[in-house]
Amino acid sequence: MIIENSASSSNKKLLGFDVKTLTTNCRAINVFKAIFAVLPIALALPVDALQVKVTPINPKLGDTLSVEINLDNPENGTNPTVASGKNTYPAFEIAPNQYRAFVPTTPLETAGNRTLRIAGDGQVQNLAVNVLNRKFPVQRITLPPGKAGVDATEYELKRVAAFKALQTPEKYWNGVFLKPNAGRMSTNYGVRRYYNGTFAKDYYHRGLDYAGATGSPVIAPADGRVALVGRVSQGFRIHGNVVGIDHGQGVTSIFMHLSRINVKEGDFVKAGQLIGAVGSTGAATGPHLHWGLYVNGQSIDPKPWQTKVVN
């Protein structure tokens, strides 16, 4: 009854043509229409100006996240950045108004959703990325006397850390990365290890091992500049005779346990060029090549780089 009466009263007002009220309402409605007609365009501008693409679509631990960013109006030549957790990664220009940043993932991280914070063109965009879990095998290693318990020298650690931290703006590599040695792969990326019965906490195998014969050639998997050459005689106890190649834009390769080194620091090498030979120097149980591929200082799985072109 109350609802019906209220409706009747409303109808009477409407049928009485309260012109003043009706005119005022119409004007207000037209103003709101004008505002909302403009809003979709204004709200769409940031989305159009900052376009982001993340690959691979279904990444797993150990993969490299490639974050491509298109900017309509780059500000004062300032490149965009991508942040994940406490780390911020630079984005480098790969085409006019197009930038790309690499975000590494490792076996020591927790799988699941993570937020990428992309900043550029005076805008900030947050993207949720789900990194899938991945099981890594466990391996037991017995080091012979003289090899077990060997610590790296301070000089060795500083040189290697400085090398892995390189973020050269130029991109040197082109196409897929080649296999650096013809030997069979003896140890995959990400393997967890026990050394002489003790589990190596916070350790995972940071690269691929190739069981090549002593003296067999080691080649550069991609173009780059030799940024590290170290020898046992200089204090490289763990790495042994080592070569490091800077491929540019935060991507570096390291080659360990070499018996011979055929390049010097500063050399620019091409994919397939001889850089050294397989050996067993440093902390090695036998002749093999250890190849580690690093992105922004973190060891990532090299295999996807051997099968898919990252331009």
Q: Which residues have a catalytic role annotated?
A: 288
Contact 138, 192 (CB under 8 A): yes
Which element (helix H / strand E) includes 193? strand 192-195
Q: Which two tokens stand for residue 293?
A: 């591929």
Instruction: Judge whether 89 and 82 are in contact, CB under 8 Å.
Output: yes
Report d(CA 71, CA 91) in Å as an integer.
12
| DSSP element (H, E) containing 190 | none
Task: Write out the H or E segment, with its range, that includes residue 115.
Answer: strand 112-120
Query: Do residues 192 and 204 lie in contact, with contact meaning Cβ atoms separated by under 8 Å?
Result: yes
Angstrom distances, CA of residue 13 to CA of 17, 56, 132 = 7, 63, 63
* Encoded tokens for 279: 């050996």
